[in-house]
Structure 1
Amino acid sequence: MPAVDRRAGDDERVVPVLQHVHSSGSVSVLLPDDHPIVASARESESGELAMMIELADQAPVDLREPIRGLLWITGWLRLLDERAGRARAVSIANTRPDPRLLDVGHGASVLRLNPASIVLADSEGTHSLTAPTFSTAKADPFCQYEQQWLRHLEDSHADVVWQLSRHLPEELRDGRIRPLGLDRYGLRLRVESCYGDHDVRLGFSRVIDSPPQLAVEMRRLIGCPFLSQA
């Protein structure tokens, strides 16, 4: 998920060297030692800066409007000292190894954002989340292979996507229909037309959590008793 840092109350947008969202909702940000934000945090009387982190969820297929959701985490950004920064880098590396973490203490600094507000937005609405709600949220069972599955659907099963169009409002069926998202509740489609883009959710008959259950729900949606799971 690409991310962009934005200084609160300012139009300046900064792409960090690396960012990592922790389960608590806090965010670790890696920036060059000589970056202006690092200097501002070091010189601040409180040691903190008001900051908003914007993370964009990019669709796994090549859409003309590729961003399918945004997460904004607003809070207070604090510069960690070298020892704490290294400890944070090791903690991140345990779950997300990345060679850029080796630069901590060697030209790069770690800053931590403590969240005050978390907002999630997509075509289905905008939701304000508390830090406890965010930290206890469970990953969707399909998150690990959603991208690969949607790309496969796009590249190899155009016939299936066409059959799904029967669930769309009639005025949308002439547009280009693309797979947009998959979760335990249903399949999301993007319709690209000359009148704009429209996102539609095709809900499953029940909450699912496994590929065999997904195959059953896809057979139901396309109105076919058999569907290859290739």
Structure 2
Amino acid sequence: MPSAAERTRTLVQSTCSAVLLVPGIEGTRPDQLTPQARVVGPDGEVFLLFRADSPAVRAATHAQDDELSAVLEITDVAPVSVPHRIRGRAWVSGWLTCAPGLAEPGFMMLRLEVGEIAVDDLWGASDVEPEEFARAAVDPVTAHETELLQHLHSAHGEQLQELCRLLGDRAQDTVGADGRQPRAVPLALDRFGLRVRFVGERSFDARFDFPEPVRDITELRRAMHILFEAAAH
């Protein structure tokens, strides 16, 4: 399974929605606290791009040499329609300063020096050490996950349904009182495998691991083919 540090790093550098929470500007509209871009620096610091006139930039500018605490809250929502769509949240807290000269005119890059990190997702809840976060790599599948899950959902529903056969004795427990199988919805995809939510009278998640972790989109397609082949026979 991916480590908590890898999962958090992936969320920070993904397209998940994020909001920067800064004491003193709580009444600000959420869209004004949403960074237009975010990237992790070589030492694990998080750089956040905002308009130069945003409340977050004003707060960081006025703080000057004082420590301004802030929390970057990230929310991960499944890209397909499924009950309980929030797949996880991550919180990166630390100290906020301006980083002049890194953004185009009209914008300002803010630097969040990381102090504490926590993640609560489909794998569970965990704290992450800043050093582990700095060393972690982004999951190579994340750039393609949204497109692939939507494609699986719209074009491969029958093959997803066949994955029930790989559940062994557990498959018997999926049948509802009316004899119907639950609907299979692809929920999450990473380099280690596919997670499917079976939605029905007794909804549950099932994890289907790849034979080995994939490193790119080519290996991912091959792994998915092997998985569907195993379910078909």
1:101-135 CA-to-partner distances (Å, cap 9, x unmatched) read: xxx432x3221111111222212211222233223
Residues 65-84 of structure 1: pairs in structure 2 closer than 5 A: 65-80=84-99, 84=100
CA distance in 2, matches of 1:36, 1:140: 32
CA distance in 1, matches of 2:206, 2:148: 18
Aligned letter for 1:130? E
Cα displacement (A) at 1:193? 4.2
TM-score by length of 2: 0.72
C-alpha contact 1:52 1:72 (8 A) present in aligned 2: yes
Aligned letter for 2:163? L
2:44 pairs with 1:25: yes
Q: Count residues in correspondence.
A: 202
Residue range with higher mean Cα deviation, 60-69 or 149-158: 60-69
CA distance in 2, matches of 1:130, 1:47: 24
CA distance in 2, matches of 1:8, 1:126: 25
CA distance in 1, matches of 2:23, 2:229: 48
| Other structure's SS at 1:55 match | strand
C-alpha contact 1:48 1:79 (8 A) present in aligned 2: no
Cα displacement (A) at 1:183? 1.9
| Other structure's SS at 1:144 match | helix
Residues 28-177 of structure 1: pairs in structure 2 closer than 5 A: 28-44=47-63, 46-80=65-99, 84=100, 86=101, 88-89=102-103, 104-106=104-106, 108-166=107-165, 167=167, 170-173=172-175, 174-177=181-184
CA distance in 2, matches of 1:39, 1:9: 11
1:124-147 CA-to-partner distances (Å, cap 9, x unmatched) read: 211222233223223334333232
CA distance in 1, matches of 2:223, 2:158: 21
- Name the CA shift for 1:68/1:18 in 2 (closer, same or farther; >3 Å): same
- Name the CA shift for 1:32/1:148 in 2 (closer, same or farther; >3 Å): closer
CA distance in 2, matches of 1:10, 1:172: 48
1:49-97 CA-to-partner distances (Å, cap 9, x unmatched) read: 11100122232223343321222110001123xxx2x3x23xxxxxxxx
Residue range with higher mean Cα deviation, 165-174 or 53-62: 165-174
- Name the CA shift for 1:40/1:110 in 2 (closer, same or farther; >3 Å): same
- Which residue is 1:200 aligned to? 206
C-alpha contact 2:25 2:55 (8 A) present in aligned 1: no
2:191 pairs with 1:184: yes
Gaps spanning 5+ residues in structure 1: where?
A: 90-103, 225-230
C-alpha contact 1:118 1:130 (8 A) present in aligned 2: yes
CA distance in 1, matches of 2:197, 2:26: 30
TM-score by length of 1: 0.73
Aligned letter for 1:105? P
CA distance in 1, matches of 2:111, 2:186: 36
CA distance in 1, matches of 2:64, 2:139: 42
C-alpha contact 2:20 2:35 (8 A) present in aligned 1: no
Gaps spanning 5+ residues in structure 2: where?
A: 1-15, 176-180
C-alpha contact 2:75 2:89 (8 A) present in aligned 1: yes
Aligned letter for 1:46? D
CA distance in 2, matches of 1:194, 1:5: 39
- Which residue is 2:226 aligned to? 216
CA distance in 2, matches of 1:159, 1:180: 16
- CA RMSD after TM alignment: 2.8
The percentage of aligned residue pairs carrying the same residue is: 28
2:16 pairs with 1:6: no
- Which residue is 2:34 aligned to? 16
